[in-house]
Every structure is written in structure tokens, then in C-alpha cells.
Copies of this chain bind each other. A is one copy, B any other.
Amino acid sequence: MGRLSAVFAPDRVAVVGATDREGSVGRAILENLDSGFVGDVIAVNPNRDEVLGHECYDALTDAPATDLAVVVVPPQVAVPVVRDAGEAGVDAAVVITAGFGESGGEGATRERELAEVAAEYDIDLVGPNCLGVMNTGVDMNATFGPEMAQPGNISFMSQSGAFITAVLDWANDEGIGFRDVVSLGNKAVLDETDFVDHWGGDDDTDVVIGYLESIKRGREFVDTAREVTDDTPVVLVKSGRTDAGAHAASSHTGAIAGSEAAYEAGLEQAGVLRADSVEELFDWSRVLADQPLPDADGVAVVTNAGGPGVLATDAIGDADLELASFADDTVEELQSFLPDNANVFNPVDIIGDANVERFARTLDTVLGDPNVGSAVVVSAPTAILSFDDLAEEIVDTQAKHDLPVVSCLMGGERSEAPAAAMSEHGIPNYFDPARAVSGLDALSDYREIREREYDQPREFDVDRERVREILTEAADSGENRIGVEAMEILDAYGIDTPTGEVATSPHEALDVARGIDGPVAMKIVSPDILHKSDIGGVKVGVEFNDVYDAYEDLVTRARNYQPDADVLGVQVQELVDLDDAVETIVGVNRDPQFGPLVMFGLGGIFVEVMEDTSLRVAPVGESEARQMTEEIQSAPLLRGARGREPVDVDAVVETVQRLSQLATDFPAILELDVNPLVVQPDGATAVDLRLTTDLEEL
């Protein structure tokens, strides 16, 4: 049992607001608790003496020592009730009551008070505005829903109470069981991160699943889920994936959702399997709950029907699973007993006249192959084949090899009993081969997640103080947009920049150019001019003799383009060698849920037109930074596509990490773009910088 034992396995539960009024939530909860809970149930209601056979206490402070209080009082008195619970030494509370953050205004204030009281008394508080919690281990249904979960090894959290009601109604008929179920409600105190953490330490939970509309503490969630998923798979539907869905979700819960791109990156970094639909959520969690992990990448297909075998093979291809190549021994063994017109290679087609024995022996043979880590059995109905007998053989053969097996005994009613029989042994059956394969895909993905090594973000030796000075200086001048004039920020974090300075007069420009070898680059410096090149505000390869005129020309252009622009001067910079170099962009922005994110992509059209970027929640370790350089579509250009020399990817990887540290160290940096970061065959140089700060955060 993990840290939330008072929530899921209390010895005594009090229903505060217990009542026998027909159709009331207070009555439903008391009845649900009474219908099985192995512990003690007490009722609290100052207006009653007795409710449904329970003596009624006036307040928790008058009642016997209680581990969990289920609160179903009107919203106006919910906060005092929780304070009472604190005074009475209650460890956990489930606040069913609605009328908090979701209704805005007064409710939001009330929710803050609720959280404060819970913190003051160290109460593990679920909700408010929720359906309640269940634990099948102690047969506790502390919800007002109509159905109790059946026992199982899946723990389930949901930000929608109705979704729990719907799932339980369905799952009980499908034979899917649960360990714990929790309706998260408004997550005023306990949130998804707490439950993932708890279930990670719960021996009776083998799979964690959830329906979420938001993640409250993004970075903490990533860190927690990353540890938990080393042992326990986590499968989530995070809704609001699309613009329309995100809008609907925020109007539903009132929660501010972060950007979908941040969720996508964060869930991936957390090792979470992200399902896009309810069907995927359960297709995946069923096999994760019941089947072993594959011990090899290859999948074997055994079928009596060519067409459906091809459909299974396509699904394997779609899923990035690998169709196993059989060892020679396996092929010989198959040849020894299969008819001549069978296909002994994968997908194995044992043809239409196959009986149950041929199916079983084939499955046994291929599961014994060292290249086969899992198998899918696909059968069309035939006159000589009993699906019932076949199901039995599949169960036995799967158990013998202890490898994942999924099944498509394709039929109507005739498949129902065999499917139920296999389901009892954890083998799912689908009409559609694609759905069966989807489960194997989840197992294989989870196996990869378990094998992941997460390296700690490296701590670089940087000059934090200098950056603070520069940002403070900017803040003092009231400017929240900073540009190339602050390249020193990058220097301070060990990122290479060209020699250069901002000149505020043609003479100063000459002075700066004098200190630089060869021709220089000159750029207008103004927080009001975002696209410098578009207005001719950049000159590259200016000879020393032309520097004076170039200064005046740049300033004139800026003035003509935008007369009211605040022109700070002209940056005079050493030229960066672009021969054999690739221009890239490294950026930072900040998400309301996940905090700083780092972005990497190739410069120009790749980011702007092709939207070919990679994103991670910061801070990132070296291997994550390296993945970013590998997963963009244009990655071959870094590795030297089309006969060019490869550029210094290591330098990019280090720059990304250093920026990640900068973004993590300074919450005041809201957005930052290094554009371009010129990556040469040896080294990477940041040529231009733009950042936006939040002065309040300094």
C-alpha cells in the first residue's frame, strides 16, 4: 500500500452529510458503502439521530477516530467540515460536493480555502466536485455511482465522473476488473501525479489508466511517471488534443489546459502510453494487465485464411512491430507437418482445411522460435474447426510459452463463448485483426519504455549572476523584449557567440569593427523591429571602410520603416563561417502546466513552413537532447545528406542542454529564440537572440 492508504483502504469511513432522503447523493454513498465495505462506516449529520441504521454524529469531532471522510454537504459548509475533519485527526477526505472552481467566482475562492485547510491539517483530499473513490481490495464503494467495479489489477483515475460511470457499466459486462477507481474532480489537492505515485507503490496495481483533461503539475508528473513506468505501465487518454477538444475541455472543467504540443512532449518523456480513444485505452490496458512482455521484437501470425492474415500483417507494419523472421529450424519443423500448399513463412498460412491440432502445433512451433516474441492467431470460421476447442489450445499454448498471444477468431455468436474463455486467461479476442495487433503494439511500446535510460540533466558551470544582472537591467528600463544586444546571456551560459558589440554611433561601430578580424556583420538593434532582414536591417560581409556608411544606412532604413521604433544602435559582429554549416533554431518557451520547454529545428523554411521541430519539457538530459536532433524529419541534413560533410551534432546537443538550464534557472524568461544557431562541422555558434521576459518573475 502506498502513501494514500487512508484514501483507498481506510479502517473507518465517515459519510458527512449522510441522509436517507430518496434519490440524494448522501444516501447513495451510504448505501454503496454499506453494500460491501469490509471496514467500519459511520454517518455524520447534525440534523439527524440515525440514518439507514447508522447512529448519526453531529460532527467528525464528536465521532470515533476516522481515517476517511466522504463529504456530501452543501458547498457553503464544506470548508468548515474539512477543518472539523482536520481537528478530529482524519487523514483523508473525498469532497463530493460541487460548487467550487468549476463554477468560478465565489466557488474558486472556496476551492482555495479548501486547499489551504487541507494543507494546514495535512489531509489527503480528493475532489471537490467528484464522484468518489473505490477500492475492490476492501470492497469499498465510496461513490454515488450506480455500479461497483469488479476486482482486478487496473487502477483507474478520471477527470470526468460520468466517464467512470460509463466505463464501469461497460467493463463489468466485458469482464474487466479494477483495483482502485478515483474520480479526480477539481484536483484542489490530490491530482494525477499523486495517484500515479501512489499506484507505483501499490503491489495490487499492475496497470494505471486514466482519463485526463489537464495535468496540473507538468514537470512533477513527468518525473513521477518516469519512475513509476519502470515497473508499472501507465496508459492515459488526455483529451482536448484538438483545438475544438481543448476548447470544450476548458469550458467543461474551467481548468487552463497547456498546449497540446507540451502534453505530447511531456507524456512521451514521462513514459506514458497515450491512447487516442476509449477503445485504445482498454485494448491496451487489457493486455498490459494480463499478458507478459514479449522477449523478442518479432511477431508471428498463424492463420487458416490468407486475406485476414494479410490484414494482421498490415496492422503489424502500421504498428512498427516487426514480422518475425523464423529460424531455419522453425521452418523445417513447420514443413514437417504442414501440407504442401501451406505457407511456412511468416505469416504462416496453415490453409482452410486446418483443424485445431494443426493450429496448436503451429502456434507451439512458432512461439518456440527465438525470433518470436509474441503471436497473433487469426482464424476464419470453417466447418471442421471448433472455435471452442481452438480457444482452449490457444490458452494452453500461451501458458506453456508465457509469451503474449492475441486472437482473432473471426465470427459472430460462435466467437462469443471462446472469446470469454480466452478472456479469463487474459487473451483478448477481436473480430478485427488490427485491434488484436494494437494490444501487442502496446506491450512492445511498454517494453521499450522499461528499457529506457533517463540521464540526469547535466549541471553546467555557468555565470548565473551575470544573466541576472542583464535581465534586471532590462527590467529596470521597462523593456520586456531583448535582442542581440544581450548575447552576453548566451556567453554566460557557455554558448559560443561571435565577437561583437552594440554600437550607438557610426564612430563606435568603427571602433568595434577595428577589434574584429576581416569584414563584419551589422544588424539594427531595436525591440520594435522583429524581422530585421525583411526591412534590410542586416548587412553581412561589411568591409572596415564601409562600416561608417553601413551604420547610417541601417539606421535610416529602420527609421523609414518604422518612424516610432526605439532604435538602440547597430550590432557589429564577427562573421560566422557558413561554409558547410547548417542553420538551426533553438528556442525556449513556457507552458502553464509544464513550465519551460526547449525546441530544436532547422532554420528558415524547416521551422516556419514545414513545422519540422522537436520539443521537450526542460530540463533535458543529454540523451533527450540528442533525440531532439534525431527525430526531426530534416535530421539527415545534420548528418551530411547529399554528399555534404556532417555538422557537429554534439555541439547542438550541448547547446540545447545549456539553454535548457538557462530556462530552468530563470522563470523570468518566457520565450527565447536563438535564430540562427549556425552549426559547423566543428562547433556551433549562436548568431542572433531574441527573448521576452516577465518582469514580475525577477
Binding site for B on A (CB under 8 A): 23, 103, 146, 158-163, 165-167, 169-174, 211, 213, 237, 239-245, 247-249, 251-253, 276-279, 304-311, 313-318, 323, 341, 343, 345, 347, 349, 352, 380-383, 410-415, 431-435, 531, 534, 604-605, 608-610, 612, 633-634, 636-637, 641-643
Contact A432 B308 (CB under 8 A): no
Contact A241 B317 (CB under 8 A): yes
For A174, the chain B residues whose CB sits under 8 A away are: 412
- Inter-chain CA distance A411–B306, complex, in Å, is 35
- Inter-chain CA distance A414–B697, complex, in Å, is 55
Contact A160 B307 (CB under 8 A): yes
Selected contact of A252 from candidates B169, B310, B435, CB within 8 Å = B310
Contact B349 A434 (CB under 8 A): no
Contact A641 B162 (CB under 8 A): no
Interface centre among A160, A243, A341 (most CB of B within 10 A): A160
Contact A431 B251 (CB under 8 A): no
Indicate how many identical chains form the complex: 2
A352 to chain B, nearest CB (A): 6
A371 to chain B, nearest CB (A): 14
For A239, the chain B residues whose CB sits under 8 A away are: 307, 310-311, 314
- Inter-chain CA distance A169–B383, complex, in Å, is 12
- Inter-chain CA distance A177–B556, complex, in Å, is 77
Interface centre among A169, A349, A609, A641 (most CB of B within 10 A): A169
Selected contact of A159 from candidates B279, B307, B642, CB within 8 Å = B307
Contact A434 B317 (CB under 8 A): no
For A103, the chain B residues whose CB sits under 8 A away are: 341
Contact B318 A241 (CB under 8 A): yes
List 9 A–B pairs whose Cβ atoms lie within 8 Å, in order of A's numbering. Answer: A161-B307, A162-B306, A163-B380, A166-B308, A166-B410, A166-B431, A252-B309, A252-B343, A276-B318
For A382, the chain B residues whose CB sits under 8 A away are: 162, 165
Contact B608 A641 (CB under 8 A): yes
- Inter-chain CA distance A157–B23, complex, in Å, is 54
Contact B169 A305 (CB under 8 A): no
A563 to chain B, nearest CB (A): 21
Contact B310 A604 (CB under 8 A): no
Closest to A98 in B: B341
Contact A323 B244 (CB under 8 A): yes
For A415, the chain B residues whose CB sits under 8 A away are: 170
Contact B610 A633 (CB under 8 A): yes
A324 to chain B, nearest CB (A): 10
For A414, the chain B residues whose CB sits under 8 A away are: 169
Closest to A533 in B: B643
Question: Nearest 5 A-B pairs (CB), nearest first?
Answer: A160-B307, A242-B317, A173-B412, A162-B305, A245-B314
For A172, the chain B residues whose CB sits under 8 A away are: 412
For A169, the chain B residues whose CB sits under 8 A away are: 381, 410-412, 414
- Inter-chain CA distance A278–B239, complex, in Å, is 26
Selected contact of A211 from candidates B23, B171, B307, B323, CB within 8 Å = B307
Contact B432 A249 (CB under 8 A): no
Selected contact of A278 from candidates B167, B243, B434, CB within 8 Å = B434
- Inter-chain CA distance A635–B433, complex, in Å, is 37
* Given A173-B412, A213-B307, residue A244 in contact with residue B162 (CB < 8 A): no
For A313, the chain B residues whose CB sits under 8 A away are: 242, 244-245, 247-248
Closest to A99 in B: B341
For A435, the chain B residues whose CB sits under 8 A away are: 277, 279
Contact B412 A305 (CB under 8 A): no
Contact B432 A242 (CB under 8 A): no
* Given A160-B306, A318-B241, residue A411 in contact with residue B166 (CB < 8 A): yes
For A213, the chain B residues whose CB sits under 8 A away are: 307, 310
Contact B642 A608 (CB under 8 A): yes
* Given A309-B248, A412-B171, residue A534 in contact with residue B162 (CB < 8 A): no
Contact A165 B380 (CB under 8 A): yes
- Inter-chain CA distance A276–B319, complex, in Å, is 12
Interface centre among A166, A241, A304, A410 (most CB of B within 10 A): A166
Q: A240-B314, A248-B323 are in contact. List 18 more A-B contacts (CB 8 A).
A: A162-B305, A162-B307, A163-B307, A170-B415, A173-B412, A213-B307, A239-B307, A241-B317, A241-B318, A243-B317, A244-B314, A245-B310, A245-B314, A252-B310, A252-B343, A277-B311, A278-B433, A608-B642
Closest to A534 in B: B643
* Given A170-B412, A307-B252, residue A315 in contact with residue B162 (CB < 8 A): no
A93 to chain B, nearest CB (A): 22
For A636, the chain B residues whose CB sits under 8 A away are: 609
Interface centre among A163, A243, A349 (most CB of B within 10 A): A163
Contact A604 B642 (CB under 8 A): yes
A149 to chain B, nearest CB (A): 13
Contact B245 A163 (CB under 8 A): no
